[in-house]
Homo-oligomer: A and B are copies of this chain.
Amino acid sequence: MELNPKAIRGSFVDFVDDPFFRAETECVRYFQDGLMILEKGKILEFDSYANLSDRYANLPIETYEGLILPGFIDLHVHYPQTEMIAACGEQLLAWLEKYVFPTELRFQDPDYARKIASFFLDELLRNGTTTAVVLTTIFPGSVEVLFEEAQKRSMRLIAGQMLMSRNAPEFLINEPHKAYAENCELIHKWHGKDRLLCAITPRFAITSTEIELSLAGKLKAEFPDVYIHTHLSENLKEIEFTSSLFPDCIDYLNVYEQFGLVSDRSIFAHCVHLSNSAFQRLSASGAAIAYCPTSNLFLGSGLFKLDQAKSEAYPIKVGLGSDVGAGTSFSQLKSMGEAYKISQLQGQSLSAFKAFYLATLGGAKALSLDSKLGNFAQAKEADFIVLEPNATPLLRLRNSSYTGDSFGDLPGDLYRDLDAISSQLFGLMILGDERAIKATYVNGELWQSSD
Residues of A within 8 A of B (CB): 82-86, 88-91, 102-103, 119, 123, 297-300, 302-303, 328-330, 337, 340-341, 343-347, 349, 351-352, 393-394, 397-398, 400-401, 403, 405-406, 422-423, 426-427, 430-431, 433, 451
Q: Are B433 and A433 in contact (CB under 8 A)?
A: yes
Name the B residues within 8 Å of A302 (CB-CB): 345
- Chain B residue at smallest Cβ distance from A329: B431
Q: Are A427 and B86 in contact (CB under 8 A)?
A: yes
A340 to B297, CA, bound (A): 9
A194 to chain B, nearest CB (A): 26
Known: A330-B394, A337-B328. A88 touches B426 (CB 8 A): yes
Q: Are B91 and A344 in contact (CB under 8 A)?
A: yes
Interface SS of A by simple majority: helix
- Chain B residue at smallest Cβ distance from A401: B83
Name the B residues within 8 Å of A119 (CB-CB): 393, 397
Chain A to chain B contacts (Cβ below 8 Å), 10 pairs: A82-B397, A83-B400, A86-B398, A88-B352, A123-B394, A298-B340, A300-B343, A300-B344, A300-B346, A433-B433
- Chain B residue at smallest Cβ distance from A430: B86
Q: Are B406 and A297 in contact (CB under 8 A)?
A: no
Q: Are A451 and B344 in contact (CB under 8 A)?
A: no
Q: From the candidates B90, B123, B298, B347, name the one contacting A341 in the complex (CB within 8 A).
A: B298
Q: Are B84 and A398 in contact (CB under 8 A)?
A: yes
Q: From the candidates B86, B329, B345, B347, name the one contacting A426 in the complex (CB within 8 A).
A: B86
A239 to chain B, nearest CB (A): 15
Name the B residues within 8 Å of A88 (CB-CB): 349, 351-352, 405-406, 422-423, 426
Name the B residues within 8 Å of A86 (CB-CB): 398, 426-427, 430-431
- Chain B residue at smallest Cβ distance from A433: B433
Q: Are B430 and A328 in contact (CB under 8 A)?
A: yes
